[in-house]
């Protein structure tokens, strides 16, 4: 239930903020906004204030903005989107992307005020430092034992009573595991607020770059900053995420074009739902980090020059600027419809892959 609630709140917040950007900039430029809906139809109820209907809808997964003239009609009216200058229309289209970036900065800044996990070296002095699992290799001993990304290693014991003293450094955990390859070990883990034990036998001859247990480890501590520094760190972290998303997306596209592989590494709604559950079990700050990552990701994806996306609509404005006249509405509508159909098909394929991978 917690996972479902967290998933709805996060996804709803991301899409709602995105649509709020379109709404605010359209209003600022004098464009008539016919409806601003929270959630998706069917409509529960609506209240009209001025010329805009503010509606509450049944499906709480975001929102939508209905802008007068957004499909190219009513060019004779100065209140129409279609009648505005190219830069004004582009501003409205890109406002959602901007708002998602602002949201990511705000969430990470809040996280740094509260205290976010911060990776540190074994050599650094830090109170409360912990060794955290940052990756679990599929089908490895750790995976079979039920270890998850985000788990904290509290202690490691052998069957004969030998115990790792002080599991607060990565090198200490790695050395103890290496000395006890092939032996039955009991690992005490912390996940969220719960402590539990798993039994594991580290491999004597593990595959290359997988390690005896099949995990990647990091030494982390929680760190918080005054609000001024927190905003600066949140901003830096957001743009680091944006660069990481862009470079990862470019690599996936290159991999797909060169070898036909890569699509399986993309996750859809089912995968996000699963990750949300893991983040929720780990604590509120992890949910903040996940929401910030998803918000930055939504911004970049929507900015892509692909039909049906905000970036695709901006591309048509660029073509209009170059050729000196708008692209035929029939052609643009057909292109966006085809792009939307492709995105829906892609989402179905990714969702099916998520289901087979998770279940």
Residue positions annotated with a catalytic role: 19
The angle, 0 to 180 degrees and rounded to 10, between the axes of the packed helices 269-282 and 2-28 is 110
Please give the Cα distance from 269 to 64 (Å, whole number). Answer: 19
Q: Would you say how long the chain is, in residues?
A: 359
Please, are residues 99 and 16 in contact by the beta-carbon 8 Å criterion? no
Please give the Cα distance from 1 to 41 (Å, whole number). Answer: 23
Using DSSP bridges, classify how beta strands 52-67 and 194-200 pair: parallel, antiparallel or unpaired.
unpaired
Please give the Cα distance from 241 to 247 (Å, whole number). Answer: 10
Please give the Cα distance from 262 to 283 (Å, whole number). Answer: 31
Burial of 135 (0-12, 13-18, 19+ CB in 10 A): middle
| Residue ranges with strand state E in 68-158 | 116-120, 130-136, 152-158
* Contacts of 207 by beta carbon, 8 Å cutoff, 6+ apart: none
Element holding 221 (H helix, E strand):
strand 215-223
């Amino acid at each position: 239930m917690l996972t479902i609630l967290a998933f709805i709140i996060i996804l709803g917040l991301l899409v709602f903020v995105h649509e709020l950007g379109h709404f605010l900039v359209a209003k600022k430029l004098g464009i008539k906004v016919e409806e601003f809906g929270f959630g998706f139809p069917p409509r529960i109820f609506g209240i009209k204030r001025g010329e805009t209907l503010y509606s509450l809808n049944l499906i709480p997964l975001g929102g939508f903005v209905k802008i007068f003239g957004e499909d190219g009609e009513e060019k004779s009216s100065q209140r129409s989107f279609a009648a505005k200058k190219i830069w004004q229309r582009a501003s409205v289209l890109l406002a959602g992307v901007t708002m998602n970036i602002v949201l990511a900065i705000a969430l990470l800044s809040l996280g740094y005020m509260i205290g976010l996990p911060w990776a540190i070296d074994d050599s650094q002095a830090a109170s409360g430092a912990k060794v955290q699992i940052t990756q679990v290799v599929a089908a490895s001993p750790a995976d079979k034992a039920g270890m998850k990304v985000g788990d904290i290693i509290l202690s490691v014991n052998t069957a004969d009573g030998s115990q790792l003293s002080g599991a607060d450094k990565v090198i200490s955990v790695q050395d103890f595991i290496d000395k006890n390859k092939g032996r039955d070990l009991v690992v005490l883990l912390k996940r969220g607020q719960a402590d539990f034990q798993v039994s594991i036998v580290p491999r004597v001859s593990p595959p290359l770059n997988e390690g005896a247990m099949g995990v990647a480890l990091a030494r982390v501590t929680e760190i918080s900053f005054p609000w001024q520094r927190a905003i600066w760190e949140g901003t830096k972290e957001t743009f680091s995420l944006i660069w990481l998303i862009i470079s990862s997306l470019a690599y996936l596209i290159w991999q797909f074009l060169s070898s036909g592989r890569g699509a399986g590494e993309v996750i859809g709604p089912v995968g996000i739902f699963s990750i949300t559950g893991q983040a929720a079990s780990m604590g509120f700050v992890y949910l903040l980090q996940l929401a910030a990552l998803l918000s930055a990701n939504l911004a970049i994806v929507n900015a892509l020059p692909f039909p049906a996306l905000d970036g695709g609509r901006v591309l048509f404005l660029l073509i209009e600027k170059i050729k000196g006249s708008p692209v035929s509405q029939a052609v643009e509508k057909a292109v966006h419809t085809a792009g939307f159909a492709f995105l829906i098909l892609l989402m179905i394929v990714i969702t099916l892959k998520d289901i087979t991978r998770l279940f």
